[in-house]
Amino acid sequence: MPTSKKVSKAIKDLFPRNYKGRIYDLGSGFGTMLIFFASQYPQAEIIGYELSFFPFWISKLLCRRYKNITIFKKDFRGEKLKQGWIYLFLFSKGTRSLDCAQFQGSVVLSNTFQLASQYTKKMDVADLYRSSLYLYDFKKNGSLF
């Protein structure tokens, strides 16, 4: 299931303005959010990880015009991620079982499902699914931006 438009709008409100850093979509599906991030933050580096064959190749096709998007056909778990903002929209058990050590130095935004760590901020979104966004600040200095 792709991220809803209302959630995308809420994400934009949470992100730093004119963000120029790195943005990961871990489990990037058909690339909807990769394109959203690339359009909103043309100077940022956008990185997707997608495990499944079909969505991966569709996303490669749809994202081909965006020079700042890179997509890996890979399980992101255990990958060495660089610092940045990380977007997740996975599923309940999968999200809770993630090792948060992988996210140290970054800010994580998880759609609907919580990590096994205390969130820094929660935002409820009035979309069809009554989604919530959970923000986790894993930056060492505690600064969000």
Cα gap 129→135, rounded to integer Å: 18
62/144 with CB nearer ligand SAM? 62
Residues 6 or more apart in contact with residue 39 via CB below 8 angstroms: none
Residues 60-119 that bind ligand SAM (CB under 6 A): 75-77, 89-90, 94
Crossing angle between the packed helical segments 5-14 and 32-40, to the nearest 10 degrees: 40
Nearest approach, Cβ of 67 to ligand SAM (angstroms)?
20
CB atoms within 10 A of CB 43: 9
86/138 with CB nearer ligand SAM? 86
55 binds ligand SAM (CB under 6 A): yes
Edge-first strand order for the sheet with 69-72 is 69-72, 45-49, 22-26, 85-88, 107-111, 132-137, 121-124
Nearest approach, Cβ of 81 to ligand SAM (angstroms)?
12
Residue nearest ligand SAM, Cβ-based: 27
Which one of residues 10, 11, 23, 33 is an interface residue with ligand SAM (CB under 6 A)?
33
59 binds ligand SAM (CB under 6 A): no
Three-state DSSP at 8 gives helix
Contacting positions for ligand SAM (CB under 6 A): 1-3, 25, 27-29, 32-33, 49-52, 55, 75-77, 89-90, 94
